[in-house]
Chain A
Amino acid sequence: MALILEYAIIAFIIGGLMGFLREYRATTKASSFLAFIGSILVLIQVYDAYSKGGVSGSVLGLPVHIDGLSNVFLFIVGIVALGSALFSMSYMDHHEKRGKAWVYAVAYNTFIASMALVVTVNNLEWFVFSWELMTLSSFVLIFWKEEKKDLDASFKYYVTMHFFDTIPLFLLLALGSVLTGSIHNLSYSAIQQHLATASTAYKDAFYGLFLVVFMTKAGIVPLHYWLPDAHPAAPSNVSALLSGIMIKTAVYGLLRFDWSMAGPNVTLGYIVAGLGIATLTVGTLYALRETNSKRLLAYHSVGQMGYIWLGIGIGMALIPKGGTLAAIGALGLFAGLFHAINHAMFKGALFLEAGSVEYATGTVDLERLGGLGTKMKVTAVATLFASLAISGIPPFNGFISKWLIYVAGFRSGSYFLAFGAVMAAFISAATLASFIKFYTAQFGGEREDYRDVREVPAAMQIGEWILAGMTLFVGVFPFIFVSFLNRGTLAVSGLKAAVSSNVYKIGFQSISFLPLLFIILIGVLVFIGYASLKPRFDREVRPWDCGSTEIDAEGYRVSAGSYYLKYEEKIGHFYAFTDWAYSFGEAIVHYIVKVYVWIARYFVKIVDTPYEESEVESVDALHRCEVQYIDEETLRPLVRLLRIVRDVIGGIKLGTFVALTVVVVGAIVCLLVFL
């Protein structure tokens, strides 16, 4: 029997084929709609696999197995793609002047389909295939706007992925085929079987290579330098997919290969937790000083990814120790997975909202935005929900998963992991600071220059609200996800997290939180407060400016860049210290490009093309050159000959031509006679 996933993939393929509709709006709307259908089918598949306790089969001939772990990530694919696809139907109108709807249609649908395959296929060969397809289609989407700065971002992304993802993955294919003895036998179970008896050197190579692959894709410090440029470069609906889903596939990979397949490794656990701590700190503190709303969100994706890795690292480090520590480890893993789901929801929602503001006002610059709260009420509330969720304010979903990560860290009995929990709690406050800025800089105050701004179309609002509403829903009813997530932890580690839960509460051992009671309590208290002290209003006035007549009302505010200036100055050493990560990343891209350029120049010398005069040593220099394709290069001598022949022939008069013909014919006759 065919899996439902197969129909989902078919829907995505048809969505891609919608590129044949020639009209821009028809294409984007139809392809987004089919992506929407596909996402619904993906979610049905998630439910089906959950109720059956895992399914296997084939999707268009690819071997697929959906176990508890795959299911968690397939859910992420489904839910974020659902919101994004619905949102795209209207949002893509914003980019109409760019044309190229068919590119969008193909790449967008391929991107979602490839991510669904990445988390479900059951064979390393197909995993690498889907992974590369995902990288390629996301690259096309990042570069789709074709603005100068975006080109550089997409280039950086592609080179980084090429070097740190593709090369290690192909090495891993080789490693896998050496292990199993055949390139055609790379199913997960076969690799796992052979890996169990492999030597430590093989195992270490396996751990290490996969760690690099997934660090790069997840944007883990110090390999995160591509992410804050690449994510904002894409259209917002795609950014939601990039931050919501794509970087999570790296978490899936880490759990699938480095843990479930190769077995838990305590050292690796501490490494993963350490990378998580570094990443959450660096990502979030950089986000704090960002004033471009999409870059801010992208940095937070780095930061939140750190939380997920910290949770997983705690699990990986503690589970092998057994006993109570294993229970706490399982809680860490559970919390990491939970945070992955939660992050997908609120970050998806936030990118869609940044897209809405961009749609309505045409800018993502927090310094210039403001006063949209009264104009775009629906978007404002959705943003507020998602912002509170990512800041971990109860009773939103981000609170629950962060709280479980703290609990796991503080109870780990290890100073290092407890330090991680301390940093996580600290960074949670930094996240709050950053999102207070994100929300208030866009929606706070009142501004004249955005007087005519109107709320975005209904499809976009619904797209946002699917994800923003989920943040509150999951936060209030986390119990729904407990057994779903526990299937995932079971598939990874063979342990279930001992999370106690029912309709009212979620907890671990003696600590618990009752989100439903909490929200009812807050509601009741607000009601009592409001009812007993009902606000009474006098007249409306302009804000008090101390009687000055000189201050212009628009500028009478604190701009987004200055909110936490004093704080940023005081921790300036931190920024100075971590800026090396950027120079590191820049240097990597620079040197890889240098090697490529050298190879290119070497071949250029052979085929003799006009690049010689210009000094090509960097990407910028390449931009200045005229584009020449490889076939042009090879055929160039022939073309040149034909051109000469044409010029010579074109210049000949009739008499000369006749004379020449006579001579040539005579020569041929002579030759024939002579022979």
Chain B
Amino acid sequence: MYESLALKIAGIIVMVLLPPYLDGIARRVKARIQYRRGPPLAQTWYDLRKLFAIPTVLPTKSWMFKAAPYLALASALAAALLLPYGGHVPVNFGYNIIVFFYVVAMVSVFVMLGGFSVQNAFSHLGSAREMTLLLTVEPILAVVYGVFAYNSGSLNLYHIMTHLHLSASLLFAYIILGYALYVESGFVPFDVAEAEQEVIGGPLAEYSGRLLGVFYYAIYIKRFALLWFFVSMVTYPIVGPVHGLAKSVGLFALQLLLTFALYPIIAALEATNARLRIDHIVRTNVKIFFIGLGILAMAFMGW
């Protein structure tokens, strides 16, 4: 009882505090790749704190402009709350794979609604790109749902994590899941929506000060949630059903470690790639979708 509560609270602390630090790790790694010294790990937190302290300049009277950052933050937190921390889910409002991805998509929805509420072509352009990105990722994720559901016999995340059995199609499904999550997180080379140098920040172009800070925070949490989901999907099936405090804590530590381990890889990928064009991304993702349908067929054939 208490251990469950403790782990849930630990999870909440992690999801609230860790995401900006993860970004800090990424900045450090990127700097090292470029032979720079790099900022301190808490630099992203300092940036956010500074943004929170600055009042927002208002480019529109629209209420959506003001509400969107908070709704996005709430959605990102809700998505993170649905994930297991050491085998315990902080708030279980539907512990299944489809609900999780829909809640994650809500972050993008509010980013877009915020971006479109201003009369600014760059903002619109970035938001439309964000939607295009989502539009091409969603079918790939749908294929992954299909493989997991057939492989494990359910869409419930707990059931999936405990009932997956190894097969070729499952390995491929993990690969495209990782890819889809990477794209949905909007890391380079898939950062077309916010592309600073091209569309001056896209949907966030008109945001400043505190509201911008809230949006950044929401996006960091969303990235964290997607990564944590992947990490959980990797660790839980291997570790198996969680009983007892020691195993829970061990698993939680494992999740954390893997998250720390994966972030430098992401940062390295970011530092060594240049941004793709939106039509390149669409083409690649459509191809991967068709490959995914092949993988789904493999799953149904029992491979």
Chain A nearest Cβ from B82, distance in angstroms: 9
> Which of A166-174, A542-550, A632-640 lies on the face that meets chain B?
A542-550
Could you tell me if A545 and B139 are in contact, using CB atoms closer than 8 angstroms?
A: no
Task: Give Cα A411–Cα B146 distance, bound, in whole angstroms.
Answer: 8
Interface residue tally of chain B, by bracket? 35 or more
Q: List the B side residues contacting A430 at CB < 8 Å.
A: 135
- CB proximity to B under 8 Å, residues A370-422: 370-371, 373-374, 377, 384, 388, 391-394, 399, 403, 406-407, 410-411, 413, 415, 418-419, 421-422
Is B10 interfacial (CB-CB < 8 Å)?
no
Could you tell me if A543 and B135 are in contact, using CB atoms closer than 8 angstroms?
A: no
Could you tell me if A445 and B118 are in contact, using CB atoms closer than 8 angstroms?
A: yes
Tally A-B pairs: CB < 8 A: 260
Choose from B59, B131, B155, B289 the contact partner of A564 (Cβ within 8 Å).
Answer: B131
Could you tell me if B131 and A529 are in contact, using CB atoms closer than 8 angstroms?
A: no
Is A511 interfacial (CB-CB < 8 Å)?
yes
Is A575 interfacial (CB-CB < 8 Å)?
no
> Which of A143-151, A176-184, A270-278, A552-560 lies on the face that meets chain B?
A552-560
Interface residue tally of chain A, by bracket? 35 or more
Given contacts A418-B296, A511-B154, A539-B58, contact A446 B119 (CB under 8 A): yes
Could you tell me if B71 and A422 are in contact, using CB atoms closer than 8 angstroms?
A: no
Could you tell me if A415 and B120 are in contact, using CB atoms closer than 8 angstroms?
A: no
Q: List the A side residues contacting B112 at CB < 8 Å.
A: 436, 440
Q: List the A side residues contacting B256 at CB < 8 Å.
A: none
Is A569 interfacial (CB-CB < 8 Å)?
yes
Could you tell me if A413 and B150 are in contact, using CB atoms closer than 8 angstroms?
A: yes
* 1/0 contact string of B125-148 vs chain A (CB within 8 Å): 101100110111111011101100
Chain A nearest Cβ from B3, distance in angstroms: 23
Could you tell me if A410 and B149 are in contact, using CB atoms closer than 8 angstroms?
A: yes
Chain A nearest Cβ from B72, distance in angstroms: 9
Across the two chains, which residue of chain B brings its CB closest to A518?
B93
Chain B nearest Cβ from A97, distance in angstroms: 33
Could you tell me if B57 and A538 are in contact, using CB atoms closer than 8 angstroms?
A: yes
Task: Give Cα A525–Cα B71 distance, bound, in whole angstroms.
Answer: 8
Of B132, B142, B149, B283, chain A has the most CB atoms within 10 Å of the CB of: B142
Choose from A423, A553, A564 the contact partner of B128 (Cβ within 8 Å).
Answer: A564
Is A591 interfacial (CB-CB < 8 Å)?
no
Q: List the B side residues contacting A517 at CB < 8 Å.
A: 91, 93
Task: Give Cα A84–Cα B143 distance, bound, in whole angstroms.
Answer: 39
Chain A nearest Cβ from B34, distance in angstroms: 28
Could you tell me if B119 and A556 are in contact, using CB atoms closer than 8 angstroms?
A: yes
Could you tell me if B293 and A419 are in contact, using CB atoms closer than 8 angstroms?
A: yes
Is A54 interfacial (CB-CB < 8 Å)?
no
Is B61 interfacial (CB-CB < 8 Å)?
yes
Q: List the A side residues contacting B99 at CB < 8 Å.
A: 394, 403, 513
Across the two chains, which residue of chain B brings its CB closest to A413?
B150
Q: List the B side residues contacting A433 at CB < 8 Å.
A: 131-132, 134-135
Could you tell me if A513 and B138 are in contact, using CB atoms closer than 8 angstroms?
A: no
Choose from B55, B64, B106, B200 the contact partner of A538 (Cβ within 8 Å).
Answer: B55
Q: List the B side residues contacting A370 at CB < 8 Å.
A: 119
Chain A nearest Cβ from B151, distance in angstroms: 11
Choose from B52, B59, B125 the contact partner of A542 (Cβ within 8 Å).
Answer: B59
Choose from A406, A424, A570 the contact partner of B279 (Cβ within 8 Å).
Answer: A570
Q: List the A side residues contacting B150 at CB < 8 Å.
A: 410, 413, 418
Is A530 interfacial (CB-CB < 8 Å)?
yes
Q: List the A side residues contacting B208 at CB < 8 Å.
A: 538
Is A577 interfacial (CB-CB < 8 Å)?
no
Could you tell me if B102 and A394 are in contact, using CB atoms closer than 8 angstroms?
A: yes
Task: Give Cα A542–Cα B279 distance, bound, in whole angstroms.
Answer: 31
Could you tell me if A521 and B93 are in contact, using CB atoms closer than 8 angstroms?
A: yes
Choose from B57, B118, B139, B286 the contact partner of A422 (Cβ within 8 Å).
Answer: B139
Task: Give Cα A514–Cα B81 distance, bound, in whole angstroms.
Answer: 14
Task: Give Cα A631–Cα B156 distance, bound, in whole angstroms.
Answer: 70
Chain B nearest Cβ from A479, distance in angstroms: 14
Is A613 interfacial (CB-CB < 8 Å)?
no
Q: List the A side residues contacting B149 at CB < 8 Å.
A: 410-411, 418
Could you tell me if B210 and A511 are in contact, using CB atoms closer than 8 angstroms?
A: no
Across the two chains, which residue of chain B brings its CB closest to A517?
B93
- CB proximity to B under 8 Å, residues A435-471: 436, 439-440, 444-447
Given contacts A419-B293, A521-B93, contact A538 B209 (CB under 8 A): yes
Q: List the B side residues contacting A426 at CB < 8 Å.
A: 138-139, 142, 289
Given contacts A444-B117, A558-B121, contact A541 B132 (CB under 8 A): no
Could you tell me if A535 and B211 are in contact, using CB atoms closer than 8 angstroms?
A: yes
Task: Give Cα A546–Cα B122 distance, bound, in whole angstroms.
Answer: 10
Chain B nearest Cβ from A348, distance in angstroms: 23
Q: List the A side residues contacting B154 at CB < 8 Å.
A: 411, 509-511
Could you tell me if B132 and A544 are in contact, using CB atoms closer than 8 angstroms?
A: no
Q: List the A side residues contacting B139 at CB < 8 Å.
A: 422-423, 425-426, 429
Is A202 interfacial (CB-CB < 8 Å)?
no
Task: Give Cα A50–Cα B112 distance, bound, in whole angstroms.
Answer: 43
Q: List the B side residues contacting A663 at CB < 8 Å.
A: none
Across the two chains, which residue of chain A brings its CB closest to B138?
A429
Is A201 interfacial (CB-CB < 8 Å)?
no
Chain B nearest Cβ from A575, distance in angstroms: 14
Q: List the B side residues contacting A511 at CB < 8 Å.
A: 94-96, 154-156
Could you tell me if A570 and B282 are in contact, using CB atoms closer than 8 angstroms?
A: yes
Chain B nearest Cβ from A14, distance in angstroms: 43
Given contacts A410-B145, A436-B116, contact A564 B73 (CB under 8 A): no
Task: Give Cα A370–Cα B120 distance, bound, in whole angstroms.
Answer: 12
Could you tell me if B278 and A411 are in contact, using CB atoms closer than 8 angstroms?
A: no
Chain A nearest Cβ from B211, distance in angstroms: 6
Chain B nearest Cβ from A318, distance in angstroms: 15
Is A648 interfacial (CB-CB < 8 Å)?
no
Chain A nearest Cβ from B160, distance in angstroms: 10
Task: Give Cα A423–Cα B116 distance, bound, in whole angstroms.
Answer: 27
Could you tell me if A513 and B94 are in contact, using CB atoms closer than 8 angstroms?
A: yes
Could you tell me if B73 and A567 are in contact, using CB atoms closer than 8 angstroms?
A: no
Task: Give Cα A439–Cα B114 distance, bound, in whole angstroms.
Answer: 12
Task: Give Cα A392–Cα B142 distance, bound, in whole angstroms.
Answer: 14
Could you tell me if B155 and A392 are in contact, using CB atoms closer than 8 angstroms?
A: no
Chain B nearest Cβ from A524, distance in angstroms: 8
Is B24 interfacial (CB-CB < 8 Å)?
no
* 1/0 contact string of B36-67 vs chain A (CB within 8 Å): 00000000000000001001111111111010
Is A641 interfacial (CB-CB < 8 Å)?
no
- CB proximity to A under 8 Å, residues B218-235: none
Q: List the A side residues contacting B117 at CB < 8 Å.
A: 373, 440, 444-445
Is B291 interfacial (CB-CB < 8 Å)?
no
Task: Give Cα A421–Cα B213 distance, bound, in whole angstroms.
Answer: 38
Is B161 interfacial (CB-CB < 8 Å)?
no
Of A422, A428, A526, A563, chain B has the most CB atoms within 10 Å of the CB of: A422
Question: What 9 pairs across the A-B complex have the smallest Cβ distances?
Answer: A440-B116, A429-B138, A425-B142, A513-B94, A426-B139, A525-B74, A558-B124, A445-B119, A444-B116
Additional A-B contact list (16), CB under 8 Å, known A374-B62, A433-B135, A533-B70: A406-B98, A425-B98, A429-B105, A432-B131, A436-B131, A440-B113, A445-B119, A511-B94, A513-B99, A525-B78, A526-B70, A529-B73, A540-B61, A557-B119, A557-B121, A566-B279
Between-chain CB contacts (< 8 Å), 12 pairs: A373-B62, A407-B98, A436-B109, A440-B112, A446-B61, A510-B159, A514-B94, A518-B93, A526-B70, A529-B70, A540-B59, A567-B132
